[in-house]
Structure 1
Amino acid sequence: MEALILQMMEAFKDLSYFGIMLALTFEFVPAELVLPLAGYWVYEGEMNLFGAIFAGSIGGVLGPLTLYALGRYGGRVAILKFGKYFFIKDEHMDKSDQFFEKYGGSVAFLGRFVPGVRTAISIPCGIAKMNVWKFIFYTYLAMLPVTAIYVYLGYSLGPQWEKAGELFGQYANYLLIPIALFIIWLIVKRRKVKAQ
């Protein structure tokens, strides 16, 4: 499967930044493969670092947006019928539903940092008819740091870009939890200012 995705990525490379966005629109294409490879293309001088991060972040929103639309317009019946094509299992749905019930709309952000929830969390957001712009905003906020780290790791590792996933796994909590907490603090502060 990975070899097939890498072949696809060579075709997407010809589309430059749009190719990165397009690849990430398909939920079955793992970001941990696409983004470090994009970083390697930056290393090779084929792309700009910030351009690759921006394209990856946009693509990281487009993929979840398809699942959001599936939840919003198809409901749970459509998920049970078509979820397997997006590699969504029943246990993913159950975890995502519980997470959504507990945290409400902010799950579009928080859920991206929780293994077993991050892919399927878009679906309950759609079923609950969460405001689509709010969903996009929170998803982008979550995807930006993840994308930046993966692309930068691919760029730093150069020809050894395939080790990025392993490195990310080792240091993800140290990197992402402080970023997530800082963004949550900003959101809470903004809400308090609006409430005054």
Structure 2
Amino acid sequence: MLEKLLAAVAGWIIAVIASMGYGGIVLLMAIESACIPLPSEIIMPFAGFLVSKGDLTLWGIALAGAVGCVLGSIPAYYVGLYGGRPLAEKFGKYVLISNKDLDMADRWFANHGEIIIFVARLLPAVRTFIAFPAGVARMNMTRFVVYTFVGSLIWCFVLGYVGMKAGEHWEDLKVYFHESHYVIAALGLIFVAWYVRRHFKNEAA
């Protein structure tokens, strides 16, 4: 059942990007950055694959992804700003964010300061919920947006580049894989499965 659900999510992500282009990337990355576990590990590589086909540009998808990350992170920031940790704890479980995740984000923010917002945007999983402690700490909004944008731009560029290179060498790779979107979806599904398993493991701890 879980496998079918994850496959459906991956298929929807691919369909959105294929039909909407840059706007689809903005939308999907905004959802991902609003603390909803929609993996950028599917979103950006598939966008990169379309770059290799001439449908999009690498800097275009990276910018679209970064803009989406900023747009999605702002609501999460304000949840932390006005609702504080109690609100994040109350609703975090519905988007697979555990109290242990929130503890880690709070600890990183306390130990490393505002620069952790930039660093976290380069890390899987934690990048999804790092906006909460920034809001709780009442981080300056301008710096929050700048750090989020720059870190996300690098993340989106790298993932898009990987997808682009895979597309450029698809004639060599298709000996091993029959359909590109299935490969990208499979990699994304592995990440989602790990993320879900990690959440329930943290909840049980």
- TM-score, normalised to structure 2, is 0.73
Please give the alpha-carbon distance, in whole angstroms, between the structure 2 residues aligned to 1:47 and 1:76.
40
Alignment partner for residue 18 of structure 2, among 13, 18, 35? 13
> What are the equivalent positions in structure 2 for 1:137-176 lying under 5 Å apart?
137-158=146-167, 159=170, 160=180, 162=184
Please give the alpha-carbon distance, in whole angstroms, between the structure 1 residues aligned to 2:86 and 2:67.
28
* Partner in structure 2 of residue 50 of structure 1: 59
Residue 109, structure 1, aligned to residue 118, structure 2:
yes
* Partner in structure 2 of residue 68 of structure 1: 77
Alpha-carbon shift at residue 32 of structure 1 (Å): 0.8
* Partner in structure 2 of residue 177 of structure 1: none
Q: Any conservation in 1 of the 2:120–2:126 contact (CA below 8 Å)?
A: yes
Please give the alpha-carbon distance, in whole angstroms, between the structure 2 residues aligned to 1:26 and 1:111.
17
Alpha-carbon shift at residue 116 of structure 1 (Å): 5.7
* Partner in structure 1 of residue 142 of structure 2: 133
Letter of the 1:20 partner, please give it: I
Please give the alpha-carbon distance, in whole angstroms, between the structure 1 residues aligned to 2:137 and 2:128.
17
Q: 1:28-73: CA deviations, max 9, x gaps?
A: 2111110001011112222122211110121222233232121112
Please give the alpha-carbon distance, in whole angstroms, between the structure 2 residues aligned to 1:88 and 1:66.
16
Please give the alpha-carbon distance, in whole angstroms, between the structure 1 residues aligned to 2:72 and 2:106.
19
Q: Any conservation in 2 of the 1:71–1:123 contact (CA below 8 Å)?
A: yes
Give the secondary structure class of the aligned counterpart of 2:38. Answer: coil
Alpha-carbon shift at residue 164 of structure 1 (Å): 11
Alignment partner for residue 4 of structure 1, among 5, 8, 28? 8
- Count of matched residue positions in the alignment of Structure 1 and Structure 2: 167
Quick one: structure 1 residues 157 and 142, their matched pair in 2 at CA, closer, same or farther if it must change by over 3 Å? same
Q: Which structure is higher in RCO with an 8 Å CA cutoff and minimum separation 6?
A: 2
> What are the equivalent positions in structure 2 for 1:27-38 lying under 5 Å apart?
27=32, 28-38=37-47
Q: 1:96-115: CA deviations, max 9, x gaps?
A: 11111111222211233455
Q: Any conservation in 2 of the 1:154–1:164 contact (CA below 8 Å)?
A: no
Quick one: structure 1 residues 113 and 146, their matched pair in 2 at CA, closer, same or farther if it must change by over 3 Å? closer
Letter of the 1:140 partner, please give it: F
Please give the alpha-carbon distance, in whole angstroms, between the structure 1 residues aligned to 2:122 and 2:58.
23
Q: Tell me the C-alpha RMSD between the 2 structures.
A: 2.4
* Aligned residues with identical type, % of pairs: 34
Alignment partner for residue 30 of structure 2, among 1, 22, 25? 25
Structure 2's unaligned 5+ residue stretches are 171-179, 192-205
Please give the alpha-carbon distance, in whole angstroms, between the structure 1 residues aligned to 2:72 and 2:104.
19
Q: Any conservation in 2 of the 1:12–1:20 contact (CA below 8 Å)?
A: yes
Please give the alpha-carbon distance, in whole angstroms, between the structure 2 residues aligned to 1:16 and 1:113.
23
Letter of the 1:4 partner, please give it: A
Structure 1's unaligned 5+ residue stretches are 170-196
Give the secondary structure class of the aligned counterpart of 1:47. Answer: coil
